[in-house]
């Protein structure tokens, strides 16, 4: 059996066990000592739930990766930077929320933008981050009368053959500007996905379950891209040295599974911004590293819907307030799941339907991309 597959399976089990084990110990300690480490649930009722889940998820992912993966691999280094950076950003916000309303939203956006700049620069400047394409061996076909597909020896950088950049650049070959816009694209993807994930985290079990669906999809894509045979069969680019990323994705999946043990309705803990910002960032960066960012708005459809609902609500309110001196709202409350809650739909039904929608979107993504 493939060693990466074995490590992936162990990674899922180990990370899930760490979350469940630590969760039980920390919850018992919090309740037995009456520690205030919580906030109002969804801001729609008065029960208070500890927001320690994100911190436990971070510990689980980092511990599992340091034990099972090659942390000198450039793709693992990038994911560790992403996890720690956004984890600390969310943790600062969660600590402030215990006593106040949290940090200024611009602090989180600036932090996400700086991370996007760092990740973009690493991808553009590191020679170990590249991919190869499959091509037909015409000489072999000429003499043997049937086709043979071989790996192109040319190593392409991520900014060189990027569908999104080709759309905006109309296939111009200006490398400097392609690098600059690749970095800008990375920043935008990380900011939007991380904040979309943060806004989705509002109902028991919603974000964790959606993240598991997306994580499974990313694992499939990474497995295909890391294999010469599979990448050839599915007409995908071959990305050398990316196998280790499967171990990270497995740790991510296991941590979300373990967190669900305490987060299914009725939740005993929330992940807070520490978890939700990190989850969105992980999904964004993995999507960029496996060159599937163009499909991200589809398989992260719920994130997109939640984010757009907030943008529409805030924009319309400000517009009507400026024009009519009184602000009006399109939705009862945003993000969108709160709108349905205020329409007296039970949160479990909303959660299940959102999960079904995102599962369908993941299937559509597979059909389109493969």
153 or 186: which leads in pLDDT: 186
CB 278 within 8 A of CB 87: yes
Please give the average per-residue pLDDT across 27-33, as a whole number.
81
State pTM to two decimals.
0.92
CB neighbours of residue 39 within 10 Å: 17
| Distance (Å, whole) CA 134 – CA 235 | 8
Question: What pLDDT score does 145 carry?
Answer: 45
- Does the structure show a pLDDT above 60 at 1? no
Residue 140 in this model has a pLDDT that exceeds 80:
no
pLDDT score recorded for residue 310: 95
In this predicted structure, the answer to whether residue 251 has a pLDDT above a threshold of 80 is yes
Q: What's the confidence (pLDDT) of residue 40?
A: 44
Task: Lowest mean pLDDT of 51-65, 154-168, 174-188, name the range.
Answer: 154-168
pLDDT band at 136 (very low <50, low <70, confident <90, very high): low
Q: How far apart are CA 352 and CA 200, in angstroms?
A: 13
Please answer whether residues 319 and 263 qualify as being in contact, where contact means their C-beta atoms are separated by less than 8 angstroms: no
pLDDT in tens, 176-223: 778 888 999 999 999 999 999 999 998 999 999 999 999 999 999 999
pLDDT of the residue at 141: 46
Cα distance between residue 350 and residue 202, in whole Å: 11
Give the pLDDT score at 278: 97
Q: Is residue 174 predicted with pLDDT exceeding 80?
A: no
Structure tokens at 256: 């979300």
Q: In angstroms, what CA-CA distances link 15 with 7, 60, 65, 227, 251?
A: 12, 5, 9, 25, 6
CB–CB of 29/274 below 8 Å? Answer: no
pLDDT per position as a tens digit, 257-271 = 999 999 999 888 999
Tell me what percent of the residues of the chain surpass a pLDDT of 70.
87
Q: How confident is the model at residue 47 (pLDDT cuts 50, 70, 90)?
A: low
**128, 74 contact by CB (below 8 A):** yes
Q: What angle do CA 84, 89, 94 make, to 5 degrees?
A: 120
- Longest CA–CA separation in the chain, Å: 79
Per-residue pLDDT averaged across 322-348, rounded?
90
> For residues 26 and 56, is the Cβ–Cβ distance under 8 A?
yes
In terms of C-beta density within 10 A (0-12 exposed, 13-18 middle, 19 or more buried), how is residue 115 classed? buried
Q: pLDDT-based confidence at 325, cuts 50/70/90?
A: confident
Three-state SS for 297? helix
**Over 90: is that where the pLDDT of 253 sits?**
yes
Is residue 139 over pLDDT 60? Answer: no
Q: How many helices (H) and strands (E) does the chain have?
A: 15, 4
SS3 38: strand
What one-character DSSP code corresponds to residue 238?
B
Q: What is the mean pLDDT of residues 238-252?
A: 94
List pLDDT tens digits, range 296-305: 999 999 999 9
Residue predicted with more confidence, 71 or 62: 62
Q: For the ranges 24-38, 80-94, 220-234, which has the lowest average pLDDT?
A: 24-38
Mean pLDDT value of segment 31-41: 60
User: Which H or E run includes 149?
Assistant: strand 149-151
pLDDT of residue 142: 47
Q: What are phi and psi of 51, to 5 degrees?
A: -105, 55
Q: How far apart are CA 196 and CA 303, in angstroms?
A: 4
More confident residue, 233 or 36: 233
The larger pLDDT score, comparing residue 145 to residue 294, is at 294
State the pLDDT at residue 169: 59
Question: How far is residue 310's CA from residue 193's CA, in Å, rounded to a whole number?
Answer: 14
């Amino acid at each position: 059996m493939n060693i990466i597959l074995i490590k992936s399976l162990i990674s899922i089990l180990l990370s899930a066990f760490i979350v469940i084990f630590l969760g039980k110990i920390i919850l018992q300690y919090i309740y037995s000592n009456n520690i205030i480490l919580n906030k109002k649930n969804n801001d729609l009722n008065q029960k208070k739930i500890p927001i320690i889940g994100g911190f436990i998820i971070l510990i689980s992912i980092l511990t599992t990766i340091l034990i099972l993966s090659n942390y000198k691999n450039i793709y693992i280094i990038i994911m560790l930077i992403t996890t720690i950076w956004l984890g600390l950003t969310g943790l600062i916000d969660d600590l402030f929320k215990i006593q106040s309303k949290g940090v200024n939203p611009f602090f989180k956006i600036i932090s996400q933008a700086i991370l996007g700049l760092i990740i973009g620069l690493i991808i553009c400047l590191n020679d170990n981050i590249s991919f190869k394409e499959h091509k037909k061996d015409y000489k072999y076909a000429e003499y043997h009368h049937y086709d043979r597909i071989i790996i192109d020896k040319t190593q392409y950088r991520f900014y060189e053959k990027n569908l999104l950049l080709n759309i905006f650049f109309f296939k111009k070959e200006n490398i400097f500007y392609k690098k600059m816009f690749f970095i800008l694209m990375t920043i935008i993807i990380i900011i939007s996905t991380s904040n979309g994930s943060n806004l989705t985290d509002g109902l028991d079990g919603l974000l964790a379950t959606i993240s598991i669906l997306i994580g499974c999809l990313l694992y499939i894509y990474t497995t295909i891209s890391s294999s010469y045979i599979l990448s050839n069969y599915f007409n995908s680019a071959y990305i050398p040295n990316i196998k280790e990323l499967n171990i990270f994705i497995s740790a991510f999946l296991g941590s979300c599974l373990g967190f669900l043990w305490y987060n299914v309705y009725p939740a005993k803990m929330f992940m807070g911004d520490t978890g939700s910002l990190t989850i969105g960032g992980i999904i964004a960066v993995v999507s960029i590293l496996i060159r599937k960012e163009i499909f991200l708005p589809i398989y992260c459809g719920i994130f997109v819907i939640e984010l757009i609902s907030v943008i529409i609500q805030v924009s319309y309110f400000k517009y009507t307030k400026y024009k009519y001196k009184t602000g009006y709202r399109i939705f009862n409350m945003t993000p969108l799941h709160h709108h349905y809650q205020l329409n007296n739909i039970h949160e479990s039904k909303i959660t299940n339907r959102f999960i079904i929608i995102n599962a369908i979107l993941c299937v559509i993504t597979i059909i389109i991309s493969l």
